[in-house]
């Protein structure tokens, strides 16, 4: 079981360690890069934490919003928690938060040779919009992917019954 919560600065070192474990050194973020992404105007970070006696962070998702569009900077899930729905939970919550803030489209980049990631994104409605040549170290191309977000559901206004 997992709970979702907001990022806290006390989480930083754990998030850094998770990012280092999830990506090869050439792709993983440095401390200064990760700090900068977390401080971007419009940045949001959702953290997935295990429940139980000793909760621990299983993964996180960082997004950056600008007006009505957003970008997924990273979604990281420790290997021990993959294929258990943590990534989907993080993504669903990040999308919900963005839709509430008026975001209508969300974008990301993923390596063309990362079949598992491509399948994950496509399963969640993301579509390939183009290719970025040599985007990753080693001149690996990336798919530019995006998804339209539905307008947030508004709560119906209370109707006023006229008294006559």
* Model confidence, pTM: 0.88
Average pLDDT of the residues of the chain: 89
Q: What CATH topology corresponds to 2-106?
A: Aminopeptidase (3.40.630)
Percent of all residues in the chain with a pLDDT value above 70, rounded to a whole number? 92
Looking at residue 138, what is its pLDDT?
A: 86
What average pLDDT does this structure show over 88-93? 96
Looking at residue 120, what is its pLDDT?
A: 94
Q: Please check the confidence at residue 129 and state whether its pLDDT lies above 60.
A: yes
Looking at residue 70, what is its pLDDT?
A: 94
Q: Please check the confidence at residue 156 and state whether its pLDDT lies above 70.
A: no
Q: Please check the confidence at residue 11 and state whether its pLDDT lies above 70.
A: yes
Which residues make Cβ contacts (< 8 Å) with residue 19, sequence separation at least 6?
Answer: 28, 29, 34, 74, 76
pLDDT tens across 43-69, in order?
A: 999 999 998 888 899 999 999 998 888
Are 53 and 36 within 8 A, CB to CB? no
Dist. CA 64–CA 70, nearest whole Å: 6
Dist. CA 36–CA 124, nearest whole Å: 27
């Amino acid at each position: 079981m997992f709970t979702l919560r907001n990022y806290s600065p006390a989480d930083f070192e754990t998030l850094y360690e998770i990012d280092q474990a999830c990506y090869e050194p050439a792709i993983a973020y440095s401390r200064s890069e990760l700090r900068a992404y977390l401080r971007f105007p419009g940045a949001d970070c959702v953290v997935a934490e295990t429940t139980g006696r000793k909760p621990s962070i299983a993964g996180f998702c960082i997004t950056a919003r600008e007006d009505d569009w957003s970008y997924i900077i990273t979604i990281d899930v420790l290997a021990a928690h993959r294929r258990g729905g943590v990534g989907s939970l993080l993504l669903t919550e990040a999308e919900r938060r963005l839709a509430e803030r008026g975001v209508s489209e969300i974008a990301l980049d993923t390596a063309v040779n990362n079949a598992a990631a491509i399948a994950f994104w496509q399963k969640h409605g993301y579509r390939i919009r183009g290719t970025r040549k040599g985007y990753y170290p080693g001149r690996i191309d990336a798919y530019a992917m995006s998804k339209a977000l539905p307008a947030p559901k508004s709560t119906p206004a209370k109707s006023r019954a006229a008294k006559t």
